[in-house]
Structure 1
Amino acid sequence: MISKFVHILGVPFINTTQKDFIATLETHVAKQEKTFVVTANPEIVMHSLKDETYKQILAKATYITADGIGIVKAAAIIGEPLPERVSGYDVMLDLLEAANKNHSSVFFLGAAEEVLQATVKKAKQDYPGIKVAGSHNGFFDWNDHQLPQQIKNAAPDFVFVALGFPRQEQWIGANIDQFDKGVFIGIGGSFDVFSGSVKRAPEMWQKMNLEWFYRLVKQPSRWKRMLVLPKFAATVIGRKALRKG
């Protein structure tokens, strides 16, 4: 029997397919249940090992999904396989489709103002059934209570938070107790891709699980961040060896 969650270096990942996960979130919206979703890659897992406060934020999450082929491979290494990636960008698209079908409301938070406005415009064009409850760029005073109050007053069904790791998880974790309902999900740079500001890896690269390498080729400045991947793999393998020893 496969457990509902697979623990990788102390982080509990939900064992699910993308399709089933979207259905789960739709159920939460139908019941007006507040939900905190983290889409986690190896970088997030490794950060949680050295930052106890961040680890506690992850513990507040309702669900943590395997956003990254590295997580899926790590699950296979420890003998508790996950069925597939459940990435933030793909989840956002599927949730927009669900919101379009169910006439749900959404709030967009993050990115530069021009990217945000392009995201809102495209969302309205591509998903005419949604209600845009509001939006705000990613540049704001962290201690300003007006933004959480704006979102609370709007009472959206979905709140897409594109502040990047680790700020998006920190913001949701710090504010979610104020809200009565809504699916709050961190989605990294998804607005940049959705708006067309940044090109996503071609489908062929995605199918080969090389989307990370495509981003590195297009953005060589990311190389320092990519160093976490071998460290993550070594840590997973090392922990497994210790358990067997």
Structure 2
Amino acid sequence: MFSKVVNGVKVYAPTSREALIEYAIKYQKILVAVNAEKILHASDKSRDIINRNLGYPDGIGAVWALKKRGVKDVVKIPGCELWLDIIKQNYKSKTFYLIGGKQEVLDQTVLNLKTEYPGIKILNYRNGYIKTEDEELALTKDITAYKPDVVFVAAGSPKQEILMEKLHQKHKATYQGLGGSFDVYTGRVVRASKWWVENNLEWAFRLLKEPSRIKRQIHLIRFYILLQFNAY
């Protein structure tokens, strides 16, 4: 799997979700979602985190950037779908560990997964409120004791990426940062319908639902214009 660099950010260009998942599982990678905002506002620290790991095109902006670099067959892979695809393809053979979110959301997530994927091996899970070094140490010990094949961390960027790298140093596995995916999965946050998603207009749906996001969405337009003028 090859990658392109946009504004110093290395973005991998998978031709399919299956290819991305197979690569991440085989090489025990840390999966990091990349979108226009992360590319546009990249700092030395955020670039380093993404570039050390497997940054995949989570948003349409990242797809635009890859196509501008000459990649023809790249696909957009929303992180809120990718983690479920990983489970769907591997729940009969791999083990899982979940981190993040409020306790009630996490409990519902685990219950839903066990219902939807009978026999899934969720070795353990804990909420995302890790406030002290002792709590982080306890989590690290738990991960190294259970030795899961796949670890999902829903804590928001860059917190989740920093935590995943620390855990990865102690226990090699496939890790994915999920942001608010547990909230989407349990229905606490309503995602755009299939039409919006397939037409790459999910950002517009979210803007209609939350007009206050206009300040963030303007960056997508700015990013597109910069790409057209080869500013990246």
Please indicate, yes or no, whether the TM-score normalized by the shorter chain is above 0.5: yes
Q: 8 Å contact 2:4–2:69 — kept in the other structure?
A: no
In the alignment, the residues of structure 1 paired with residue 4 and residue 119 of structure 2 have an alpha-carbon distance, to the nearest angstrom, of: 36
2:156 corresponds to 1:170: no
2:17 corresponds to 1:18: yes
* SS of the residue 2:151 aligns to: strand
Select the residue among 164, 182, 185 that pairs with 1:194. Answer: 185
Select the residue among 213, 219, 222 that pairs with 1:222. Answer: 213
The match for 2:30 is: 36
The match for 1:126 is: 116
2:46 corresponds to 1:54: yes
2:55 corresponds to 1:64: yes
**Cα distance change of structure 1 residues 150 and 94 upon mapping to structure 2, 3 Å threshold:** same
Offset, 1:140: 1.2
Q: 8 Å contact 2:36–2:223 — kept in the other structure?
A: yes
| Correspondence 1:70-109 to 2 at 5 A | 70-102=61-93, 104-109=94-99
2:117 corresponds to 1:117: no
Q: 8 Å contact 1:99–1:129 — kept in the other structure?
A: no
Q: 8 Å contact 2:99–2:126 — kept in the other structure?
A: yes
* SS of the residue 1:7 aligns to: strand
Select the residue among 218, 223, 226 that pairs with 1:232. Answer: 223
TM-score of the pair, normalised by structure 2: 0.90
Q: 8 Å contact 1:9–1:236 — kept in the other structure?
A: no
Offset, 1:59: 2.2
**Cα distance change of structure 1 residues 20 and 34 upon mapping to structure 2, 3 Å threshold:** closer
Offset, 1:163: 0.8
Show structure 2 runs of 5+ residues with no match. none
Q: 8 Å contact 2:101–2:155 — kept in the other structure?
A: yes
In the alignment, the residues of structure 1 paired with residue 219 and residue 140 of structure 2 have an alpha-carbon distance, to the nearest angstrom, of: 33
Identity %: 32
Q: 8 Å contact 1:162–1:189 — kept in the other structure?
A: yes
In the alignment, the residues of structure 2 paired with residue 14 and residue 25 of structure 1 have an alpha-carbon distance, to the nearest angstrom, of: 11
* SS of the residue 1:227 aligns to: helix
**Cα distance change of structure 1 residues 226 and 241 upon mapping to structure 2, 3 Å threshold:** closer
Query: What's the Cα RMSD here?
Result: 2.0
Equivalent pairs counted in the alignment come to 229
Letter in 2 for 1:149: K
Offset, 1:175: 3.5
Deviations 1:41-99 (A, max 9, x none): 11222332xx21222212220x2110011111122233334521122122111111123
The match for 2:153 is: 161
